[in-house]
Amino acid sequence: AQSVSQHNHHVILSEAASLELGCNYSYGGTVNLFWYVQYPGQHLQLLLKYFSGDPLVKGIKGFEAEFIKSKFSFNLRKPSVQWSDTAEYFCAVRRGGGADGLTFGKGTHLIIQP
């Protein structure tokens, strides 16, 4: 079974700082990759996804992620964070083409200080 590892459980940044959240997965075959965000008290919302093609994907709110197949990684980036980016971020993977559920990482709690 695949697994997902998020390197940082808690990250604290100041506004305008750059962000990179690490995500590595264990499955060796074709994968679909996702980043979800959960704002305080809310449900999960999709930030961005990768199915195939250009390994650099852009999502909502200025986020992007790069799929590096050789490193089994899908790191999330944002050049300049805002206070409103305070949230929990989850990386998730599914075997490509499968109907299986997503396997989630344990999440990264991001706090942006004004």
Q: Which residues bind another protein (CB under 8 A)?
A: 1, 4, 9, 32, 34, 36, 42-46, 49, 51, 90, 92, 94, 96-97, 99-107
Minimum distance of another protein from residue 75's CB (angstroms): 17
The separation between CA 25 and the C-alpha centre of its own chain, rounded to angstroms, equals: 11
Nearer to another protein, 7 or 17 (CB): 7
Half-sphere exposure of 50 (CA within 13 A, CB side): 24
CA torsion angle for 86, 27, 96, 93 (degrees, to 10)?
-10
- Which value, in Å, is the radius of gyration of the alpha carbons in the chain? 14
- What is the spatial distance between Cα 107 and Cα 88, in angstroms, rounded to a whole number? 6
Nearer to another protein, 15 or 100 (CB): 100
Nearer to another protein, 43 or 54 (CB): 43
Minimum distance of another protein from residue 15's CB (angstroms): 26
